[in-house]
Structure 1
Amino acid sequence: MLIQTKYFGQVDIEEEKIIVFPRGIMGFENYTSYTILYDIEETEEFSISWLQSTEEASLAIPVVNPLYIRQDYNPLVEDEVLKDLGEIKENNLVILLTMTVPSDVTKTSVNLKAPFIINADTRKGCQIIADNPDYEIKYNVYEHVKRIKRQKGES
């Protein structure tokens, strides 16, 4: 399936790479079909990817694996909210956080409160509101990322 994207041009996506969000995502309820694009070379380690709408070229949301930000990330949610995704198991669960990268990169943040939950087996997803009271909507990650880069010997 060929899709047009604003940031990656025309991309050929296999049907099994399409993720359906039956209720859409917050603020974009009318768009239900997405894929995950990675802006990397094959040999690079990646951390930031893009949740790209297959229906709207300009709708691409930077996302990150929460364990890259917080090793203890474990959003609390009622089982009923995830029912439509199919049986969730440890090996089919994908959690992604939205990332905001403003012009002042020191204010880069992730939303710990509203992660995307995806069942990789059924390729269905939803965006939830985590019941964790300590999860912030704008969790600053700039210093965290700098620390990780220093540990890896990068600038």
Structure 2
Amino acid sequence: MKIFTKYFGEQEVDASEIVTFPAGLPGFSDEKRFIFQPFGEVFSILQSIDRTEIAFVTTSPFLFFDRYSVDLPDHFVRQLAVQSESDVAVRVIVSVQKPFSESTANLRAPVIINTRDRIGKQYIPERSSYSLRERLMPKADTPKKGV
């Protein structure tokens, strides 16, 4: 199927690449179908299939934050029909800034994907020590922070 994307224009997409978000994403509850498009070596675009303008830069938090972890409650695991830890991919939404060194990641609300069944949901815990805006790159005068 052909779709129009925010960053890459018209693209041919295989239906098997679509990730379904049954509840949509917070603020975008009507958007249920997305794809991940590679964007450089460590980023990807979470692109809505149905609305070109809805696209989010994402990355794996584990590439930038050594001590990051997500402990999903049982009800969340059941909602995504996760059968094995190997079925799970964790992505965080990146807020790209100028200069890029000021860009941040939303570690508090990761996007969790059941890669086997292609089902996703943003996990928003009641309490979290993680920030909504954690710098991807440490300031030049500070060591890398492992959240």
Moved more, 93-102 or 82-91: 82-91
TM-score by length of 2: 0.87
The equivalent residue for 2:31 is: 31
Taking the TM superposition and a 5 Å limit, the aligned residue runs for 1:1-155 are 1-40=1-40, 46-130=41-125, 133-143=128-138
Cα distance in 2 for partners of 1:117, 1:132 equals: 17
Task: Quote the offset at 1:74 in angstroms.
Answer: 1.4
Q: Unpaired runs of 5+ in structure 1?
A: 41-45, 149-155
The equivalent residue for 1:151 is: none
Count of matched residue positions in the alignment of Structure 1 and Structure 2: 142
Q: What percentage of aligned pairs have identical amino acids?
A: 25
Amino acid at match of 2:21: F
- On the 8 A contact 1:48/1:63 being kept in 2, the answer is yes
TM-score by length of 1: 0.83
Structure 1 residues 17 and 144, CA, compared in 2 at 3 Å: closer, same or farther? farther
Cα distance in 2 for partners of 1:87, 1:77 equals: 11
- On the 8 A contact 2:82/2:88 being kept in 1, the answer is no
Which structure shows the bigger proportion of residues in helix conformation?
1
Q: Unpaired runs of 5+ in structure 2?
A: none
Amino acid at match of 1:139: E
CA RMSD, Structure 1 to Structure 2 (Å): 2.0
Task: Quote the offset at 1:132 in angstroms.
Answer: 5.9
